[in-house]
Structure 1
């Protein structure tokens, strides 16, 4: 099964190809509904203003716009304040391979730490708001705050675990099991964010789901129709209602 995406990040780098258009003057962590996912647990009260001072502001990323692209220089981390994005890489034959779904409270940009260049692209699935945190400034704060340093290490570990989990999904589960795992993962992540666990809108297209799960668009559509006939879900376009969560878990 896909594991729920772990607590998100503090993040956002201005893409070298896209200006920081629509940036707001501040992005206060203390007033953010996703702070329970992004904020380090146990952060001393005196460190919160220092963290907020590092955040460049909330950037608006419109649907279909890239936050950053593969090959862009890495200089910041990102956190989804609202909305959702997909991460992807373009294969040698020019096809997009979806590598992740990032929801509110999730981190972005960690793929650039190793080489100072982004390995993936991040594209908004809907109009989204992103918080940006320059990585050099974050490293300085981490040296001065053990809690912040621990949080950054946890974010890196979370991403590694997510990638390992996705490899397991692609390598060992049937097509039906992959789709069921994906729906349960989105359900769980919505619940973590205080939303309905049983009803949600899938921001990914069927084609994107197929790319992410390693199956074809047609297979995704057939499986969703099959699940609906079995009474496991009710799918109306992108609106999904899970009717039998236990049945879906046993697929």
Structure 2
């Protein structure tokens, strides 16, 4: 995507280069949804503001901050954190390259969570008022962003399921399978990936203790389901893991 020096700046687009750039960073499905012609791509490019670097541990936005923009993750990983009335933090999701941040604020015009970078990352800022104007003119783009918003809602619903009646090992299996699917969608290996989040973060997200996460990992390794080297994870029996996530595989021993 071309970086604009100011909202009113105009540039002559090199469409092939634009597509190559977005594809390289796994944003082609977000920024160049199927069905857009070159004029529509140009309209979308104008809606994109500047790129923004976010260093590991820094916040992209915070609870209560006024809603002005959506953020497309160009590269890197984030976690979203809800702060309870007592000050307790609950991680509500992990986001990766090609996904949108900021959808939580659309309903009441302010952010409901903090977005924290898990590693040095970069986002494309999308001013929401300009995006709305363009979406109103491009039905293809409107349908695309409605789909993205629906995916965000679905992910939140899945979190509620995780925190429901699932056994601890089932929650962790769902977590691994979810990452596997999302990495596969971006052209990466569905069975080998690096966890950007800490075990503490995973435990918080799944409402488990760190000790439970360690026991589950040890059990999964003993069962031959996974191989773990620090934060590098290999899913050795993904079919069984899917069955465990779906609740059709008998519970594994945590001893």
Q: Which of these residues, 189, 209, 215, is aligned with residue 196 of structure 1?
A: 189
Unpaired segments of 5 or more residues in structure 2?
A: 2-12, 245-255
1:44 CA drift (Å): 2.4
1:83–1:198 distance in 2 versus 1, CA, 3 Å: same
Query: Normalization by structure 2: what TM-score?
Result: 0.84
Range 173-182 or range 163-172, more displaced: 163-172
CA distance in 2, matches of 1:37, 1:144: 19
Q: Which of these residues, 160, 163, 170, is aligned with residue 177 of structure 1?
A: 170
1:35 corresponds to: 27
CA distance in 2, matches of 1:211, 1:133: 30
CA distance in 1, matches of 2:100, 2:70: 7
Unpaired segments of 5 or more residues in structure 1?
A: 1-9, 11-25
1:169 CA drift (Å): 2.1
CA distance in 2, matches of 1:106, 1:177: 25
1:243 corresponds to: 236
CA distance in 2, matches of 1:29, 1:115: 34
CA distance in 1, matches of 2:75, 2:189: 16
The 4+ residue runs of structure 1 with deviation greater than 4 A are none
Q: Which has the larger radius of gyration?
A: 2
Q: Secondary structure at the match of 1:234?
A: strand
Q: How much is the aligned-residue C-alpha RMSD, in angstroms?
A: 1.7
1:29 CA drift (Å): 5.1
Query: Normalization by structure 1: what TM-score?
Result: 0.86
1:172 CA drift (Å): 2.7
Q: Secondary structure at the match of 1:162?
A: helix
Number of aligned residue pairs: 226
